[in-house]
Amino acid sequence: MTLPTNEGLRKDRPKQPVDADIEAAKLTATFLNGLAVGLAIVGGVAPILNAIYTTERVPVEAWMRAVIGSVCFVVAVTIHLIATSYLKRELRK
């Protein structure tokens, strides 16, 4: 005769992420943040600096540069928020 055990009665705990999974999530989030920073610099800051320091007449109107810069900043912030939520979601697994 054998005594009953608790085996099979406990709920499965969520699997803890392996170090490789954590590092892969960090690398993906870092890549997305780098992409966001690059977009903010190239699309947002560069046209402003170009408009300040250029001596030639620029064919693009000032309002259009402002719109393009604003859109680039908004997209950069959106990519950063996506990377943050992705990292949080992956580390909770």
Question: One digit per residue, pLDDT tens: the chain, 93 residues?
Answer: 566 676 666 666 666 668 888 899 899 999 999 999 999 999 988 888 887 888 777 777 878 888 888 999 999 999 999 999 999 988 887
- The domain spans of the chain are 26-92
Angle, CA 38 vertex, CA 68 and CA 86 arms, to 5°: 105
Residue 11 and residue 7: Cα distance in Å, rounded? Answer: 10
What was the pLDDT predicted at 83? Answer: 93
Q: What is the pTM of this model?
A: 0.70
Query: Which of 20, 36, 17, 24 has its CA nearest to residue 81?
Result: 36
